[in-house]
Amino acid sequence: MTIALAGPLGEALGRGALAILAYAVLGVLLLVAGFYVIDMATPGRLGKLIQTDRNPNATLLTASGLAAVGLIVAASIWSSGGVLQEGLLATLVFGVVGIAVQTLGMLLFDRVAGISVRRLVGEPTLQPGAVLLAVTHLAIGLITAVAVMP
């Protein structure tokens, strides 16, 4: 017995699958961009700090930064209302803005509160400043995500 997906259902499933693929690719690209921005803010290679050195501060800051980007991407997709091209463009713009705002937040904490990402990732044990910056990443991601919702 063969079931053919033709007509409106097949078209809807095809469009849905294409939208999932497009948003997933864009989301992964934004996560990679976020990773590299965090990598530029840390001394040494971030991958080595996490995988080889097992640095908890680098891991926490990276994880929270990427989770924040994920929140922004998810909110952008949700707010797109099913219009693929506009949704992809909005997701790209909001994702880049979110990464930029997080970076600005890290720089401000360094200047205002004296909490330096560069110093934190040099510490071998989890530091309170890393926890504060991680929560800040998530808060910025949540604020940005809510800002893009209708």
In a domain, 63, yes or no: yes
Q: pTM to 2 decimals? A: 0.83
In a domain, 1, yes or no: no
For the segment 43-73, what is each residue's pLDDT rounded down to a tens digit? 889 999 999 999 999 999 999 999 999 999 8
Alpha carbons 31 and 78: distance in angstroms, whole number: 18
In a domain, 130, yes or no: yes
Do residues 137 and 102 lie in contact, with contact meaning Cβ atoms separated by under 8 Å?
yes
In a domain, 7, yes or no: no
Do residues 58 and 100 lie in contact, with contact meaning Cβ atoms separated by under 8 Å?
no
Question: How far lies 24's CA from each of 53, 88, 98, 130, in Å?
Answer: 30, 10, 17, 29
For the segment 85-137, what is each residue's pLDDT rounded down to a tens digit? 988 999 999 999 989 988 888 888 888 988 888 889 889 999 999 999 999 99
In a domain, 67, yes or no: yes
In a domain, 33, yes or no: yes
The yes-or-no verdict on residue 81 having pLDDT over 90 is no
In a domain, 19, yes or no: no
Alpha carbons 14 and 20: distance in angstroms, whole number: 10
Number of domains comprising the chain? 1
HSE, side-chain direction, 13 A CA sphere, residue 65: 30
For the segment 4-51, what is each residue's pLDDT rounded down to a tens digit? 555 676 666 667 788 889 999 999 999 999 999 989 888 889 999 999
In a domain, 77, yes or no: yes
What residue numbers bound the domain in which 106 lies?
27-148
